[in-house]
């Protein structure tokens, strides 16, 4: 009788362990489902809560024909002009892009955003807000791949992003393209030039991509000391807490303004260059 009770106790203990493991499994699955729901709701709220003005085709999106299919790092301006173009890569992102837009709006400045198709698909309202605030959108491929690819993959990277930009902005087409990491010899730039895009590189690298390895003061100094009339400045509106561009941008704007610089979009910068040498 004692042995039977002992065996029954063992069976009950094993049954209890099984029920405990089943309960833990259910809790883990519930947590996973909850995390997924929270992520989906966050994306939806970001896209719904950011106010968006009506997006229309704006004249300063048009680039001069003489620059179509060309590679541009910096432009030459006539001597009195001190124009500079701020550009932001890899967005839109829900953590940094809205803060950058707010800083630019407070200073009444335009900029150019080279966006990734995959991020624009996640946050279309932020992409719309960029344009609605008077800024310009450029194509930065879908995935940010930079290795050598077959042409049909390159075409998909660029054309899918261009199509999405047009869809979410009500038909706006961009002729501005920036290759990931500025790589020129993997076939991507060749394809962009064939479609008559302006391939926009940069002459000033903020080095904000260094994250924790660069201070705000160093980031500001990097931009201000390298700035020249006709320069194109590279920054990023992604990277989370590691990216210090939100802290550095107001100081960059202040110091460049004190030095007499005006801020323009890439199409505006190209037009200024064209005007300077065709008068």
Catalytic entry in 208, 236, 241, 242: 236
Residues 6+ apart with CB under 8 A from 83: 77, 229, 230, 261, 262, 263, 264, 268, 269, 272
What are φ and ψ of residue 83, in 5° steps? -95, 145
Catalytic entry in 89, 90, 208, 237: 89
Residues 6+ apart with CB under 8 A from 193: 69, 70, 71, 199
Tokens standing for residue 254? 């202040």
* 197 among known catalytic residues: no
* 89 among known catalytic residues: yes
Q: Which residues belong to the active site?
A: 89, 236
């Amino acid at each position: 009788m004692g042995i039977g009770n002992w065996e029954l106790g063992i069976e009950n203990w094993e049954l209890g362990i099984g029920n405990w493991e089943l309960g833990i499994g259910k809790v883990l699955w519930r947590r996973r489902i909850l995390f997924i729901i929270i992520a989906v709701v966050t994306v939806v709220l970001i896209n719904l809560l950011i106010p968006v003005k009506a997006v229309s085709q704006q004249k300063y999106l048009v680039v001069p024909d003489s620059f179509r299919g060309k590679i541009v790092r910096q432009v030459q301006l006539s001597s009195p002009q001190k124009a500079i173009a701020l550009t932001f890569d890899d967005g839109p992102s829900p953590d940094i892009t809205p803060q950058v837009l707010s800083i630019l709006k407070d200073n009444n400045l335009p900029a150019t955003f080279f966006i990734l198709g995959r991020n624009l698909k996640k946050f279309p309202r932020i992409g719309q807000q960029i344009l609605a605030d008077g800024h310009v959108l450029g194509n930065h491929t879908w995935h940010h791949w930079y290795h050598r690819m077959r042409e049909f993959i390159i075409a998909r990277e660029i054309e899918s992003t261009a199509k999405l930009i047009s869809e979410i902005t009500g038909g706006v087409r961009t002729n501005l393209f920036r290759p990931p990491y500025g790589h020129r010899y993997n076939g991507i730039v060749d394809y962009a030039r064939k479609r008559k895009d302006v391939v926009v590189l940069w002459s000033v690298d903020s080095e904000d991509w260094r994250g924790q390895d660069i201070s705000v003061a160093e980031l500001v100094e990097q931009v201000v000391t390298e700035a020249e009339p006709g320069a194109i400045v590279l920054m990023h509106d992604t990277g989370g807490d590691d990216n210090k561009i939100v802290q550095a941008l107001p100081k960059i704007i202040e110091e460049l303004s004190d030095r007499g610089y005006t801020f323009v979009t890439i199409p505006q910068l190209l037009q200024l260059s064209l005007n300077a040498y065709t008068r």
